[in-house]
Amino acid sequence: MKVPFYDATREYNLYKKEFDNAAADVFNSGAFILGKQVQDFEEAICKYTGAKYSVGVANGSDALLIACDILNYRQEAEILTPVFTFFASTSCIARLNGKPLFCDVDEDTLCMDMNDAANRITKKTKGILPVHLFLQTADMTACMELAKKHNLTVLEDAAEAFGMKTLYNGELKHAGTIGDFGVFSFFPTKTLGGYGDGGMIITNDEELYKKAKSYRTHGSTKKYHHDYIGYNSRLDTLQAAILNVKLSRIDGAIQKRANHAAHYREMLKDISEIKLPVIRNGGKEVNYVFCIKAEKRDALDEYLKSKEIGTSIYYPIPLHLQKCFEYLGYKKGDFPVSEKLCETVLALPMFPELTEDEVSFVCETIREFYKK
């Protein structure tokens, strides 16, 4: 049996008519840039997440960069951010000449350790960029308390977190709606993913919204009138049309992911060489990916691939040891939890259209590896 890590064609074939009709509507309209479907999608995102405002942009990395620029995360400003995350969570700061102030992560949730973050704050620290990773949000209660205490702004990297919720002030809040800004990525593999790149900035602050909307079109509020030096970063109308179809089915897709996760947990729970994901924040988790911590991780990865099972390693090198960040002066041993995770975390196949037989085959193959 061949089990892909991710396969977009299965979903497309299930709902082919809806996707084809949505694309045809865009082609027939001729409005390929900021067409009606973009506005419809932005409104639907607000309705689903509870955010007051949303701005569709070209991709999740641009969403981070634009939000960082608006929040003044530049010119030597120190921004707290986890060292165990995707590159874009930090490059958005560095590209603006801000200074990433790396923090270690919690060993169970794999999200930013707010206690470690608190110990790294200096007089130059201007913001916090928590990342909601894989399964659940960072501890936003602790994050916002820290921000309030030190007068810091907060940019939530919710690129992987669509559908996730966290308990905040006694209410379940959607990821990205608590800080000053939140951002989503609609990269194809994401829980809500397009058929190409796409991103979104959300906020509850009207002034920040107006700036973000301007920044995505070269800093203009009116054609050829530029208030800011902005960007050319707009969500394609075609991607918005596809995403509108997928958003209408998102709750069912999230539930299918949950079913697969439960299946994995049941079949892997008694394998002593594996640690399963821990859920801790009291909110609503969403299985964007299913990550295990595995002994002999690299050998297991190779064995699964030899059996035609797709996997992904998140992440092989922590950010403080990446060549491009050598100038920050960190060294091996500075972030022991993250460094250990980079040696042990392995992501297994996870997308709604997986079958029970495929999940079972993955688990049986893992058991077979450790028996050998």
Place of tokens 């501890």: 139
Tokens of 53: 């405002």
Nearest to 243 by CA among 212, 288, 203, 197: 197
The predicted-structure confidence for 148-197, as pLDDT tens digits, reads as follows 999 999 999 999 999 999 999 999 999 999 999 999 999 999 999 999 99
The one-letter code for the residue type at 167 is L
Give pLDDT, residue 300: 98
Look at residue 282 in the predicted model and tell me its pLDDT: 79
Looking at this protein, which amino acid is placed at residue 294? A
Distance separating alpha carbons of residues 321 and 327, to the nearest angstrom: 10
Q: How far apart are CA 69 and CA 77, in angstroms?
A: 11
Neighbouring C-beta atoms of residue 317, cutoff 10 Å: 12
CA 307 – CA 291 distance, rounded (Å): 19
User: In 10 A of CB 186, how many CB atoms?
Assistant: 30
- Give me the amino acid identity at 310: G
Q: What is the pLDDT of residues 214-256, one digit of tens each?
A: 999 999 999 999 999 999 999 999 999 999 999 999 999 999 9
Q: Which pLDDT score is estimated for 28? A: 97
Label residue 32 left, alpha or beta by phi (over 0 means left) and psi (-120 to 50 means alpha). alpha
Provide the residue ranges of all domains of the chain, joining segments of one domain with +. Answer: 8-104+112-247, 250-371
User: Residue 140 has what pLDDT?
Assistant: 97
Which residue ranges in the chain fall short of pLDDT 50? none
Contact (Cβ atoms closer than 8 angstroms) between residue 218 and residue 230:
yes
- In order, the DSSP letters of 318-364 are -GGGSGGGGGG---TTSSHHHHHHHHHEEEEP--TT--HHHHHHHHH
pLDDT at 280: 87
> Residue 85's pLDDT is what?
98
pTM of the model: 0.97
Distance between CA 195 and CA 20 in Å, rounded? 12
Q: Which fold has domain 8-104+112-247?
A: Aspartate Aminotransferase; domain 2 (3.40.640)
Strands 199-203 and 78-82: unpaired
250-371 CATH fold:
Aspartate Aminotransferase, domain 1 (3.90.1150)
Strands (E), the chain: 53-57, 78-82, 99-103, 125-128, 153-157, 165-168, 171-174, 181-185, 199-203, 220-222, 225-226, 274-275, 290-294, 345-348
